[in-house]
Chain A
């Protein structure tokens, strides 16, 4: 069945360095790729998303790149700060649900720790 693989599961970086998290997907019909940040005790919060008609999108220190041929997309965080420490999830539509419309399947998450 369709799957979303996320790597790495944990990532530690020094404050000011960059962090990169990568996801691969198997459903070639997927066309929407969001990234969520989840802080302890809170629900996931959308931080950036990209649609399949573009290859890159940036929002200040955060960027997402998409390679449809290779079926992978990546989250890039530059100039990391301690408040970037959280769990990050990628997602992509798949047909794992029974309804007619593809629903999001989430990766297993990456615990990012930014060391001061």
Chain B
């Protein structure tokens, strides 16, 4: 039982490049989330999907897009990467809203 799996674990991009971060969960959870974590700022919600077929903006959605491909998979896309998007990105899933969230181990993204 893998839980929440994120790929890749590390990535370096140049400014302006595009990239998709992948996330998959095997717990049959309805809700999935993308967060970014920056030093001293905790976790900030980028986008979430309360259930399959729906997506909503979080606190910091600018510069990102998401796709809920099916119940298992939720991807995050950077269309034109900027240095301000250098961060650690975490995907999480939960049975529903305000239920315990299970996190992946993160993608460490550097944009030069």
**A-facing residues in B6-44 (Cβ within 8 Å):** 33, 35, 40-44
Residues of chain B within 8 A (CB-CB) of A97 are: 45, 48, 56-59
A-side interface residues, number (CB < 8 Å): 28
CB distance from A44 to the nearest CB of B (A): 5
Residues of chain B within 8 A (CB-CB) of A45 are: 103
Q: Does A42 contact B (CB under 8 A)?
A: yes
Bound Cα distance from A101 to B98, whole angstroms? 9
Q: Does B105 contact A (CB under 8 A)?
A: yes
Residues of chain B within 8 A (CB-CB) of A106 are: 35, 42-44
Bound Cα distance from A106 to B35, whole angstroms? 10
Residues of chain A within 8 A (CB-CB) of B100 are: 34, 46, 49
Q: A43-B106, A45-B103, A101-B50 are in contact. Are A93 and B43 (CB under 8 A)?
A: no
Q: Does B104 contact A (CB under 8 A)?
A: yes
Q: A43-B4, A89-B42 are in contact. Are A104 and B101 (CB under 8 A)?
A: yes
Beyond A34-B101, A43-B4: 10 further Cβ-contacts under 8 Å? A32-B98, A44-B103, A46-B101, A89-B43, A96-B59, A97-B56, A97-B57, A98-B57, A101-B50, A102-B98
Q: What residues of chain A have their CB less than 8 Å away from a CB belonging to chain B?
A: 6, 9, 31-32, 34, 36, 41-46, 49, 89, 93, 96-99, 101-109
